[in-house]
Structure 1
Amino acid sequence: MNPPKRIDPRRAYRVGPQGLRRIVLGEISVNGTTSATVEASRRPKAKPLRTTIQPTKWHMVVAHSYRGRLDDHAREAIACAAILAEPDTGVLVVVLGTFQEDPSPLGADRIAIVDDLDWSRYEPVREEALVDAFLQDYCPEHIFLPDNSLGDGDLGRRLLAKQQSSGATHVIEIDRKHIAIVWSSGNRLACAPLPRIVLLDPGAVDANLPFVGAGEKIAVPSTGLASERCVDLGLAPSKPSEIALEEADFIVSAGNGVHSIATLEELARSLDAAVGASRVAVDDGKLPRSKQIGASGKTVSATTYFAVGISGAVQHLQGIKSCRHVIAVNRDPGAPIVKRADLTVIADAEEFMQALITRVAQAREQSELKGDSNG
């Protein structure tokens, strides 16, 4: 006869706010170790510095920021420069635009931030003059840029033409000696020696590094007054309804909890956002299939994703994994979307949408009145 199983009184525990010990299922005590020891062992270990040697050579990365942040593509370019760097090679990062994060985890040893040259401004002559100043000061062996439409791809090609250096675009594989690009309509890979200027395709490098950089912030060199050959006319505004969901920066998405699509569309218009939907909402005929977001629909990378009445099935979460901020409105606090969301409002979707529409209208009216009084 098997003896009855009993709880080990010396198993791992946590001490609550009132001093009571609470045994936590799944935690195991080894040789009488306390809960504090178990928790300490689970904390992520600090990553080591990539190199402690004073740099004698440099890799340089140039990338535009977007709203104070570098996207995953730019982070991959920095990681590539750090991975390929020898111990005596430093990684210099030039950020065009504001940047408010710690550069060390990205692998940057030195970083220069040019606040007034962000993605929304087109000043090619000034960008080239700035890069030329860094080229003269650091003489980097290799220059890395993300090959994108944010401005880095254009800048990289202009550098290729101006520097007359070896270069490669749309690089999908890279090591310290070679690069590879897609060739023959994607049927083959063309390999070549590692050039000086490299424009990387997204996904070519894993940005999760096992080390950190020094993260030293440096001053931006003076370039004097550059005479622009182009006139920047600014950005032409587009209606959110005309923007593809893959390119939308703000999306309001409807789920099964939304009964009035007209109210959701009114909310989207008040927030200047595009409209999306979960598969359930599309299957119910509330919105067309072109609005479906998820594994079987479209994958989006919006800065803000507003999920209204969406429970958060696995397929839908796959479609929003690249979104920066997720806001969820749901009556169920245990819905999967709540775990993914950065902010959750537990409320009825219809009541919340009506209240938010009213509040946004009031805020805009107050802002307009304040502007008129100042004028």
Structure 2
Amino acid sequence: MGDVIAVLEQRNGTLKQVCHETLTAARALADELSGQVLALVVGPPGVSVEGLGEYGADRVLVCEDSALQLYQGTRYAQIAADLAGKHGPEAVVLVATAFGKDLGPRIAAKLGCPLASDVTSIAGGEGIVVTRPAFSGKATYKLKIVAQRCVISIRPNAVTPAAVSRAGVVEQVAPGESDVPGATTVAVKEPERVALDVAEAAIVVAGGRGLKEPENFRLIEELAAVLDGAVGASRAVVDAGWRPHSEQVGQTGKTVSPNLYVAIGLSGAIQHLAGMRTSKVIVAINRDKDAPIFKVADYGLVGDLFEIVPRLTEEIKKVRGT
């Protein structure tokens, strides 16, 4: 039997939506390994773990402590590694959000096992095989993990959450003593506005220099709002100070794999394509018919974005009745 530990992410005592993706990926792998899924939740007292069995968790290990409310990489990794040592899973699975990208390598280092990061699929027939993008997303390759244990982080939106009912038995586990110095929280500054994380959103509407000036990004924001999506941006507009770096998509920004990616006024530099090429459906709007973005787009509109985008937004509002 090959059990799988799914490390779930919480923020301010609430589990994030990507946890369902983590569990779905872990469940599929555990089924192929004839094992169980152990969901691990580390955080403050009171985190709601109801319903995790509905997405495939056989057992839910809850490690609560008021000192664990804010993420601390060294402490979280120690807890996960200790539990992995106790339960002996064949794999530890996370989603490659900022949380997973930081925590995954830490756990792998403590366990002395390989890390497969930012994968787009996992299979567990004769050994665990993962698929990763390469060459700025132009190709993919399969990697077979021959170690007895591994840590895997899977790209957000690469897995569609699926309801698979399991027991989801909740077990309390103690955080244990640690000789690793913890972090001291000096202050917590909340963002002025709460927006969808572009790396986790199912729909992303991104804009580039074709918008001509920062004020015109309202067109992007309005379309993203009616689609319940996140706003993305090219490196050029971020470097120009039009948008925050948290919205940047590309090699030097965030890698995204949404169900729908709408590129508006974006030419499609190779660095940008590397960050969004694995999107399931790509729609491009640009007045330059030779723009590189059209080579990867599933649907393209050649024309003036200042005419197309407002009309598109209004039509979607009518369809949605908003």
TM-score (norm 1): 0.50
What is the distance in 2 between the residues matched to 1:315 and 1:68? 35
CA contact (8 A) 1:120 1:234 kept: no
1:68 offset after TM fit, Å?
A: 4.7
Give the equivalent residue in structure 2 for 1:76.
21
Q: Between Structure 1 and Structure 2, how many residues are aligned?
A: 215
1:286 offset after TM fit, Å?
A: 11
What is the distance in 2 between the residues matched to 1:158 and 1:100? 24
Please tell me whether residue 188 in structure 1 is matched to residue 133 in structure 2: no
Give the equivalent residue in structure 1 for 2:201.
none
1:226 offset after TM fit, Å?
A: 4.1
1:117 offset after TM fit, Å?
A: 6.8
Give the equivalent residue in structure 2 for 1:147.
96
Unpaired stretches in structure 1, ≥5 consecutive residues: 1-55, 249-284, 302-311, 319-334, 338-375
1:160 offset after TM fit, Å?
A: 2.2
Please tell me whether residue 93 in structure 1 is matched to residue 39 in structure 2: yes
Give the equivalent residue in structure 2 for 1:212.
165
- The DSSP-based 3-state class of the residue aligned with 2:3 is strand
CA contact (8 A) 1:65 1:118 kept: no
1:227 offset after TM fit, Å?
A: 3.7
Give the equivalent residue in structure 2 for 1:161.
109
Give the equivalent residue in structure 2 for 1:336.
321
One-letter amino acid of the counterpart of residue 336, structure 1: G
1:61 offset after TM fit, Å?
A: 0.8
Give the equivalent residue in structure 2 for 1:202.
156
Deviation >6 Å, runs of 4+: 295-298
What is the distance in 1 between the residues matched to 2:39 and 2:318? 33
Give the equivalent residue in structure 2 for 1:61.
6
TM-score (norm 2): 0.57
Give the equivalent residue in structure 1 for 2:316.
315
1:83 offset after TM fit, Å?
A: 1.1
What is the distance in 1 between the residues matched to 2:67 and 2:28? 27
Assess, with a 3 A threshold, how the Cα gap between structure 1 residues 121 and 226 changes in structure 2: closer, same or farther: farther
Alignment of 1:1-375 (within 5 A): 57-86=2-31, 88-97=34-43, 98-116=47-65, 121-149=70-98, 151-176=99-124, 177-194=128-145, 196-209=150-163, 211-228=164-181, 230-240=183-193, 245-247=195-197, 288-294=218-224, 299-300=229-230, 315=316, 336-337=321-322
1:75 offset after TM fit, Å?
A: 1.2
RMSD in angstroms over aligned alpha carbons? Answer: 3.4
Structure index of larger Rg: 1
